[in-house]
Amino acid sequence: MSVQKIAVIPGDGIGPEVAAVGVQVLEAVAELHDLPLEFTWFDFGAEKYLAEGVTLPQSAFEDFRDNYDAIYLGALGDPRVPDMAHAKDILLGLRFRLDLYVNLRPARLLHPALTPLKNKTPDDLDFVILRENTEGLYVGIGGRFKQGTPDEIAINEMVQTRKGVERIVRAAFEWAVENERKRVCMADKANVLRDAHGLWQDVFVEVAEEYPDIAARHLYADVLAMELVRAPEDFDVIVTGNLLGDVLSDLSAQLVGGLGLAPSGNIHPGRVSLFEPVHGSAPPLAGKDIANPLAMVLTGAQMLEFLGHGEAAMAVEAAVVQALREHRVTRDLGGELGTRAVGDALVRFVHAPPPAA
Ligand SMILES: NC(=O)c1ccc[n+]([C@@H]2O[C@H](COP(=O)([O-])OP(=O)(O)OC[C@H]3O[C@@H](n4cnc5c(N)ncnc54)[C@H](O)[C@@H]3O)[C@@H](O)[C@H]2O)c1
């Protein structure tokens, strides 16, 4: 198997600490499963921006695009850069310029104690959200007129293209087929956004016809928000637009343990894609060895899956489950370990998994 190249951007705040643990675990599992992974570290982030004025040079962008299989990002955000100029160039720049149209956010309960929902078990909470990642209200088209006056007007345009909607809806059905799941639910607000989300309705019906073995269901996004809390077991795959996906996937993350455990992928199937934990750079925790590295580690598992290493991904996830069971976790999850000690525990668990139940 040819070498698979991974660009590691640890970034700001707690990013470097959680990225160190993520790569430590990935290297352990790669050695064990004989995976040809090669990690190259890049120092793009606030420090470099403040010192050199550099965000993401064109040459680096082209290098990632042409020579790498995946990008593994810690977090970006630094109080010394209040307008997030560097993060916009690096994170949003990569998302848009690499056309990473699938934001894949799994919501899987890895330990029964982690959900705030009553009487729900890991069997009930196991779904993914595919959020459209390049269109909608996030295209930055709009403006403010007569700003600061009583007559002020503020407008943001929602842009949906048939191509953009079709490819994310298709990605959802394909994900269901590949992962042997039977239900795809599309959420929109077509009752209000009759045109932009009317297109979602049309396309969803058309694409669903190509997948007769998958149950296709539609819910308005507000109803879905209620249903996810009432009956999360009714969902396998959810596909939705950029803004609604942003909100629904944060709700879903809380149903399975919160920010410290939430991974995400920014994916263009078949092309270099970017994997990052959902949490930010948590500046107050930085440099104290207290950040929870599990979201970054689970993000690594998601990246392994994308790179075609499903078994290794499962081994990483099993190690996280064991850490949760044995309470080898950081303070935010009620444990006593530091970031690095969690990493060491995970590596031990990767080498010596518990016997299958
Ligand atoms: N994708 C990204 O890189 C990303 C995402 C969100 C926020 N940010 C940026 O991060 C900075 C901080 O933002 P914020 O405070 O709103 O969000 P945050 O996710 O950094 O923190 C929110 C809360 O969760 C806690 N937390 C987050 N990750 C944790 C972890 N791994 N272990 C333990 N606790 C954790 C923090 O201490 C804080 O209380 C800002 O500059 C923001 O713009 C970046």
Reported as a single tens digit per residue, the pLDDT across 248-296 is 999 999 999 999 999 999 999 999 999 999 999 999 999 999 999 999 9
Supply 74's token pair.
């810690």
Q: Is-catalytic flag, 246?
A: yes
On whether both 75 and 141 belong to a single domain, the answer is: no
Active-site residue (options: 146, 182, 222, 288): 222
Supply 296's token pair.
């970054």
Active-site residue (options: 189, 202, 234, 344): 189
Encode pLDDT of 285-306 as tens digits.
Answer: 999 999 999 999 999 999 999 9
CA 110–ligand 1 middle distance (angstroms) = 21
Residue finishing a domain among 255, 285, 315: 255
Q: In this structure, is residue 262 part of a structural domain?
A: no
Least confident of 108-122, 182-196, 288-302, 342-356: 342-356
On whether both 209 and 161 belong to a single domain, the answer is: yes
- The protein residue whose alpha carbon is closest to atom 15 in ligand 1 is 282
Q: In this structure, is residue 241 part of a structural domain?
A: yes
Q: Is-catalytic flag, 138?
A: yes
pTM metric for this prediction: 0.95
Distance (Å, whole) CA 45 – CA 49: 6
On whether both 130 and 250 belong to a single domain, the answer is: yes
- Mutation to probe ligand 1, out of 44, 49, 131, 259 (largest number of atoms < 8 A from CB): 259
CA 12–ligand 1 middle distance (angstroms) = 10
CA 91–ligand 1 middle distance (angstroms) = 15
Burial class (CB in 10 A: 0-12, 13-18, 19+), 288: exposed
CA 262–ligand 1 middle distance (angstroms) = 12
Q: In this structure, is residue 260 part of a structural domain?
A: no
Q: Quick one: which H or E segment has residue 216?
A: strand 215-220
Q: What number of other Cβ atoms are within 10 A of residue 351's Cβ?
A: 13
pLDDT band at 357 (very low <50, low <70, confident <90, very high): low
Structurally, how many domains does the chain consist of? 2
On whether both 153 and 217 belong to a single domain, the answer is: yes
Encode pLDDT of 60-95 as tens digits.
Answer: 999 999 999 999 999 999 999 999 999 999 998 899
Residue finishing a domain among 255, 283, 313: 255
On whether both 87 and 126 belong to a single domain, the answer is: no
Q: Averaged over 172-197, what is the pLDDT?
A: 97
Distance (Å, whole) CA 8 – CA 308: 19
Closest atom of ligand 1 to CA, residue 279? 19
176 is in which domain, residue-wise? Answer: 116-255
Q: In this structure, is residue 281 part of a structural domain?
A: yes
On whether both 3 and 96 belong to a single domain, the answer is: yes
Q: In this structure, is residue 110 part of a structural domain?
A: no
Inform me whether the pLDDT recorded for 356 exceeds 80. Answer: no
Q: Is-catalytic flag, 222?
A: yes
Q: Quick one: which H or E segment has residue 17?
A: helix 15-33
On whether both 247 and 131 belong to a single domain, the answer is: yes
Q: Is-catalytic flag, 189?
A: yes
Distance (Å, whole) CA 228 – CA 256: 11
On whether both 92 and 120 belong to a single domain, the answer is: no
CA 5–ligand 1 middle distance (angstroms) = 27
Q: In this structure, is residue 261 part of a structural domain?
A: no
Q: In this structure, is residue 111 part of a structural domain?
A: no
On whether both 146 and 216 belong to a single domain, the answer is: yes
Q: In this structure, is residue 274 part of a structural domain?
A: yes
Q: What is the pLDDT of residue 92?
A: 87
CB 126 within 8 A of CB 193: no
- The protein residue whose alpha carbon is closest to atom 22 in ligand 1 is 282
Active-site residue (options: 63, 234, 250, 289): 250
Q: What is the pLDDT of residue 353?
A: 75
Report which of 66, 73, 72, 6 is spatially closest to residue 36, judged by C-alpha positions.
Answer: 6
Cα Rg, the chain, nearest whole Å? 20
On whether both 243 and 273 belong to a single domain, the answer is: no
Residue matched to tokens 């440099």 = 287
Torsion-angle region of 141 (φ positive above 0: left; ψ -120 to 50: alpha; else: beta) = beta
- The protein residue whose alpha carbon is closest to atom 13 in ligand 1 is 280
Q: What is the pLDDT of residue 344?
A: 98
Residue finishing a domain among 223, 255, 287: 255
For 171-198, letters b (16+ CB in 10 Å) and e give bbbbbbeeeebeebbbbbbbeeeeebbe
Which is it for the CA torsion 306, 312, 318, 319, positive or negative?
A: negative
On whether both 245 and 125 belong to a single domain, the answer is: yes
On whether both 46 and 93 belong to a single domain, the answer is: yes
Distance (Å, whole) CA 306 – CA 309: 7
The domain spanning residue 215 has which CATH number?
3.40.718.10
Q: Quote the percentage of the chain above a pLDDT of 90.
A: 96
Residue matched to tokens 């590949």 = 178
- The protein residue whose alpha carbon is closest to atom 29 in ligand 1 is 260
Q: What is the pLDDT of residue 118?
A: 95
Inform me whether the pLDDT recorded for 239 exceeds 60. Answer: yes
Q: What is the pLDDT of residue 342?
A: 98
